[in-house]
Amino acid sequence: MIRTVQTTPFDDQKPGTSGLRKKVPVFQQPNYVENFIQSVFDSLDGYRGKTLAIGGDGRFLNREVIGIAIRMAAANGFGKVIVGKGGILSTPAASNIIRKYGCFGGIILSASHNPGGPHEDFGIKYNIGNGGPAPEKITDAIFARSKAIREYRIADIGPLDLDRIGTTRAGDMAVEVIDPVTDYAALMETLFDFEAIRAMFKGGFRMAFDAMHAVTGPYAKEILENRLGAPAGTARNFVPREDFGGHHPDPNLVHARELYDEMMAPGAPDFGAASDGDGDRNLIIGRGIFVTPSDSLAVLAANAHLAPGYRAELKGIARSMPTSAAADRVAAKLKIGMYETPTGWKFFGNLLDAGMATICGEESAGTGSDHVREKDGLWAVLLWLNILAVRKESAKDIVTKHWAEFGQNYYSRHDYEAVETDKANALIDELRGRFATLPGQKIGALTVAAADEFAYHDPVDGSVSKNQGTRVLFEGGSRVVFRLSGTGTSGATLRVYIEKYEPDPAQHGRDPQAALAELIAAADAIAGIRRHTGRDAPTVIT
């Protein structure tokens, strides 16, 4: 039986950088989830009888919301839903399912690297038929609808068994429960030289992969240990938990500190890696070297031809604006297109669909390719393994040689989390007001060359996205970028991205904070970070 339920709108359902992310108690308000999902369906055309993929990263509230999504999909006329067993699908695996099975779209439940649990974070995201996050045109429509919604539709169906693989019916709709790992693992086998990686493990190569008690655990166990023959124990913290074991499933130098310390200590494994809550981010640490996501993108692009799936010339490389320009130098050498997009994986979708880019990446620990339309944590790890297996050199040697050839883009991001929203806005507004007067100003030894707000003109569909980050560019090519995060759930997070290009190999491999000290001081002098936020130091430095 289909019920139409009267409701009143919420005014805070604006999707951010990657879907709607809020604290769990916000989602637990009566009708909150239903309103948002109905607003998604109301913003789409032509889905009757079609298939919807549904899955999430297994965090607290995952099962309940999956049940609601299935019942609402049935009531709204979808012909079928494909759901990961136990309600689990990593974000890249969900993207693959949407593409492989020709789904109309998908609903992905995740708050990514944010913590999980009854008082932590949850999220809902809609992905379109290409497997990628909905573009702004759709997320804007969802938000507009969420402010006007008066009713939603939901089917009263009996209990759903999400733990048994197979197809059942929910009213007129088929519910197919699939193994979350099988299709993804099969896709990885088509892209990488599993033989070569297997031989490397057989030869004694040691790796530590921290799944951070998040969704990648079962994927890593199956692919690294079962299929590639890495010793048992290579995948750690591989049992997904609703609260990620009480940790932030954020693969960075703060939350994956143990792995970092191990990789820097004597007797470290050859290679260390980690992934986040929903499996789309990656952390790469070679023995004795942390590889920044921006450098990782550049190294992967320069060496991708060593993997079977990327033997043909890359079509182009894309990166988000705050990501360092390291990959630009690779694109220039390969004589292929280089695209600079706003932050948010959704902006890569058009470039990938149009065949203009093959590999994309972001400073926020995301790398991926045209194999799906999400960033893909394990994919990045496997491409690294493939490169290591073919080149038979250490990650440190590979990165050091890369710098020697292309120069090093020193890079760091300073995050000021949970800043009062008014204060963060005031900082950005003040900065905007100084665009005209900043050029020519000297700060220490640095001279400002230009200051502006990044706007993106999508070369495929002509859409324009404004206000995508404030840039201060210095003479000589260094820069500082200021941006407010679109994924936080408390107050505002100010992100300060700092970058300096160093061509001289004698100056490579220094501590980035020391190498960037002058720019870090300039960032505060220009934006008044301390003055506005009252903070002496960033919350997180990556």
Q: Which is nearer to ligand G16, 264 or 418 (CB)?
A: 418
Beta-ladder partners of 408: 502
487 binds ligand G16 (CB under 6 A): yes
Indicate the DSSP class of residue 5.
Answer: E
Which residues, at least 6 apart from 263, have a Cβ–Cβ distance to it below 8 Å? 208, 269, 272, 285, 286, 287, 288, 290
Q: Of 9, 269, 486, 528, which lies in the binding site for ligand G16, with binding defined by CB under 6 A? A: 486
What is the residue-wise DSSP string for 145-176? HHTT--EEEEE------TTS-EEEEETTEEEE
Q: Tokens 């900043």 appear where?
A: 438
280 binds ligand G16 (CB under 6 A): yes
Q: Of 139, 234, 485, 533, which lies in the binding site for ligand G16, with binding defined by CB under 6 A? A: 485
Q: How far is the CB of 16 from ligand G16 (least distance, A)?
A: 7
In whole angstroms, give the CA distance from residue 371 to residue 358: 9
Q: Which is nearer to ligand G16, 463 or 507 (CB)?
A: 463
478 binds ligand G16 (CB under 6 A): no
* Binding region for ligand G16 (CB under 6 A) out of 71-79, 261-269, 362-370, 462-470: 362-370
Residues numbered 98 to 127 that lie near ligand G16 (CB under 6 A) are 112-113
287 binds ligand G16 (CB under 6 A): no
Q: Of 18, 62, 341, 358, which lies in the binding site for ligand G16, with binding defined by CB under 6 A? A: 18
Q: How far is the CB of 212 from ligand G16 (least distance, A)?
A: 13
Nearest to 52 by CA among 29, 24, 84, 26: 84
Q: Which helix (H) or strand (E) holds 72?
A: helix 62-75
Q: How far is the CB of 293 from ligand G16 (least distance, A)?
A: 10
Q: Of 80, 248, 255, 495, which lies in the binding site for ligand G16, with binding defined by CB under 6 A? A: 495
345 binds ligand G16 (CB under 6 A): yes
Residues numbered 23 to 82 that lie near ligand G16 (CB under 6 A) are none
Q: How far is the CB of 280 from ligand G16 (least distance, A)?
A: 5
Q: Which is nearer to ligand G16, 71 or 495 (CB)?
A: 495
Beta-ladder partners of 281: 366
At 528, the amino acid letter reads: G
413 binds ligand G16 (CB under 6 A): no
Active site residue 324: no
Whether residue 282 contacts residue 367, with contact meaning beta carbons closer than 8 Å, is answered with yes
Burial of 92 (0-12, 13-18, 19+ CB in 10 A): buried
Burial of 255 (0-12, 13-18, 19+ CB in 10 A): buried
Q: Where are the beta strands (DSSP E) in 366-439?
A: 366-369, 408-419
539 binds ligand G16 (CB under 6 A): no
Which residues, at least 6 apart from 54, have a Cβ–Cβ distance to it below 8 Å? 66, 69, 70, 73, 81, 82, 83, 84, 87, 89, 106, 107, 109
Catalytic residue among 18, 39, 112, 485: 112
Residues numbered 318 to 337 that lie near ligand G16 (CB under 6 A) are 320
Q: Which is nearer to ligand G16, 407 or 538 (CB)?
A: 538
CA angle 154/159/163 to nearest 5° reads: 115
Q: Which is nearer to ligand G16, 409 or 542 (CB)?
A: 542
17 binds ligand G16 (CB under 6 A): yes
Q: How far is the CB of 142 from ligand G16 (least distance, A)?
A: 16
Q: How far is the CB of 133 from ligand G16 (least distance, A)?
A: 7
Residues numbered 295 to 314 that lie near ligand G16 (CB under 6 A) are none
Residue 42, phi then psi, degrees to nearest 5: -65, -20
Please tell me the count of residues contacting ligand G16 according to CB under 6 A.
17
Q: Which is nearer to ligand G16, 387 or 480 (CB)?
A: 480
Residue 328's SS3 state is helix
Question: In sequence order, which ranges of 249-370 are alpha helices (DSSP H)?
Answer: 257-264, 293-303, 326-334, 349-353
Annotated catalytic residues are: 112
Residues that bind ligand G16 (CB under 6 A): 17-18, 112-113, 280-281, 320, 343-345, 362, 364, 366, 485-487, 495
